């Protein structure tokens, strides 16, 4: 049974920092000028390198050029002395001098694309430089690099006469082989796409929609991950005051309390609120959502109304009360009750 290509992954700060140059921002790399990758070691001489896959964002009027270098030893001779390639790349040697030194190890250069085939390169060590050209400070951003090697080429299925290295047929079939392997990998990793820990925000919203969350568009990525991680608990107890207060608090980022009709005669409730209870509750099928978050935008308030409607009991009516936050307590801000029984600052 054929084996899958082996590969190196560069997709976080520690990975990019093993290279030389560029600007590391969070878990990505900004290329303004020239960036040299680390020296990748396949572990075997005359290794067949396969392809380079890159995820990047390229602003308008910007370009990225990638140049590949390869060799069989980790050391090269510079002015009659042996020097490690990694040390030379990390030195203060001017960029033009580094290119002159690396000229004997040059393989090829091309505009950086989402996928580049490297089947013509055969060596143990491989590294590359990426040059960014940008007219302003809005630099190209690289988020992931995947370098594959030691593939099982489709020409191995053909008679021996078709198996010559770097033949046109091999390169031609490699295009379709790459597409097939990408589809095969997506199928193999299908379960990971449904994991909240490995999905992006758009796919998280799609998963949330599968759960029947009508308000999926209101939540940010971290909030959606929390909801989906706790989905069995949340949707197993939907309609309870604990879940409703938790969801409203998650959305607003503050403490939210649910006050029910039977609490309207409680002394502490009467003392803690500047609005008479009889103006909040008119029948036993009403409750109040009390949030101490201060002034909120009309858009934020509209989102809160949708969340309350999504998680409250279907037969009950909710009144939303927005109280001053701790920083606003003691100010002259007043509470006004609108005609729907909802208080706003």
Nearest CA to 177 among 54, 50, 7? 50
Q: Quick one: residue 330, left, alpha or beta (phi over 0 = left, psi -120 to 50 = alpha)? A: left
List pLDDT tens digits, range 222-255.
888 888 888 888 888 888 889 899 999 899 888 8
What number of other Cβ atoms are within 10 A of residue 336's Cβ?
9
Distance, in Å, from the CA atom of 274 to the CA atom of 96, rounded to the nearest integer, reads 73
pLDDT at residue 319 in the model: 85
Which structure tokens are listed for 177?
A: 């082989």
pLDDT at residue 336 in the model: 38
Which structure tokens are listed for 109?
A: 């250069």
Is residue 129 exposed (0-12), middle (13-18) or buried (19+ Cβ within 10 Å)? buried
Is the Cα dihedral 23, 29, 32, 38 positive or negative? positive
- The pTM (predicted TM-score) of the whole model is 0.61
- Out of 69-83, 152-166, 218-232, 320-334, give the one with best mean pLDDT: 69-83
Residue 198 CB partners (closer than 8 Å, separation 6+):
192
| Residue 331 pLDDT exceeds 80 | no
Which structure tokens are listed for 161?
A: 């006469």
Mean pLDDT of the chain: 82
Q: How sure is the predictor about 138, in pLDDT bands with cuts at 50, 70 and 90?
A: confident
List pLDDT tens digits, range 40-50.
999 999 998 99
| Residue 330 pLDDT exceeds 50 | no
Nearest CA to 258 among 226, 222, 291? 291
pLDDT at residue 334 in the model: 38
> Tell me, which fold does domain 237-344 have in CATH?
Helix Hairpins (1.10.287)
pLDDT at residue 124 in the model: 94
List pLDDT tens digits, range 263-279.
766 655 655 566 666 66
For the 6-152 domain, the top CATH level (class) is mainly beta
Residue 183 CA, chain-centre distance (Å), reads 21
State the average pLDDT over residues 186-206.
73
Residue extents of the structural domains in the chain: 6-152, 237-344
pLDDT at residue 193 in the model: 67
Residue 188 CB partners (closer than 8 Å, separation 6+):
none
pLDDT at residue 333 in the model: 43
List pLDDT tens digits, range 107-133.
999 999 999 989 889 999 999 999 988
| Residue 197 pLDDT exceeds 80 | no
Distance, in Å, from the CA atom of 38 to the CA atom of 101, rounded to the nearest integer, reads 16
Return the percentage of the chain with pLDDT > 70, whole number.
Answer: 85
């Amino acid at each position: 049974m054929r084996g899958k290509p082996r590969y190196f992954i560069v997709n976080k700060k520690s990975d990019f920092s093993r290279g030389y140059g560029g600007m590391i921002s969070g878990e990505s790399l900004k290329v303004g000028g020239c960036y040299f990758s680390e020296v990748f070691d396949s572990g075997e001489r005359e290794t067949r390198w396969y392809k380079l896959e890159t995820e990047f964002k390229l602003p308008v009027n910007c370009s990225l050029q990638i140049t590949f270098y390869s060799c069989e030893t980790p050391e090269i001779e510079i002015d009659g002395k042996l020097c490690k390639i990694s040390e030379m790349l990390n030195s203060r040697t001017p960029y033009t001098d580094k290119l002159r030194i690396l000229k004997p190890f040059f393989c090829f250069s091309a505009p950086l694309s989402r996928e580049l085939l490297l089947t013509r390169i055969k060596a143990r060590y491989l590294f590359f430089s990426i040059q960014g050209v940008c007219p302003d400070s809005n630099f190209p951003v690289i988020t992931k690099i995947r370098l594959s090697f030691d593939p099982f080429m489709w020409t191995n299925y053909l008679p021996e006469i078709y198996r010559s290295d770097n033949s046109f047929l091999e390169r031609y079939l490699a295009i379709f082989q790459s597409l097939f392997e990408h589809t095969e990998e997506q199928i193999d990793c299908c379960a990971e796409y449904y994991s909240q820990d490995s999905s992006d925000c758009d796919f998280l919203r799609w998963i949330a929609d599968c759960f029947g969350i009508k308000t999926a568009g209101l939540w940010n990525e971290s909030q959606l991950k929390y909801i989906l991680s706790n989905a069995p608990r949340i949707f197993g107890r939907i309609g309870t005051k604990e879940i409703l207060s938790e969801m409203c608090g998650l959305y607003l980022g503050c403490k939210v309390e649910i006050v029910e009709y039977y609490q309207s005669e409680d002394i502490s409730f009467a003392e803690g609120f500047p609005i008479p209870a009889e103006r909040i509750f008119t029948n036993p099928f009403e409750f109040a959502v009390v949030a101490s978050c201060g002034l909120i935008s009309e858009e934020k308030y509209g989102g809160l109304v949708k969340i309350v409607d999504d998680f409250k009991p279907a037969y009950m009516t909710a009144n939303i009360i927005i109280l001053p936050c701790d920083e606003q307590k003691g100010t002259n801000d007043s509470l006004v009750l609108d005609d729907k029984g909802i208080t706003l600052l």
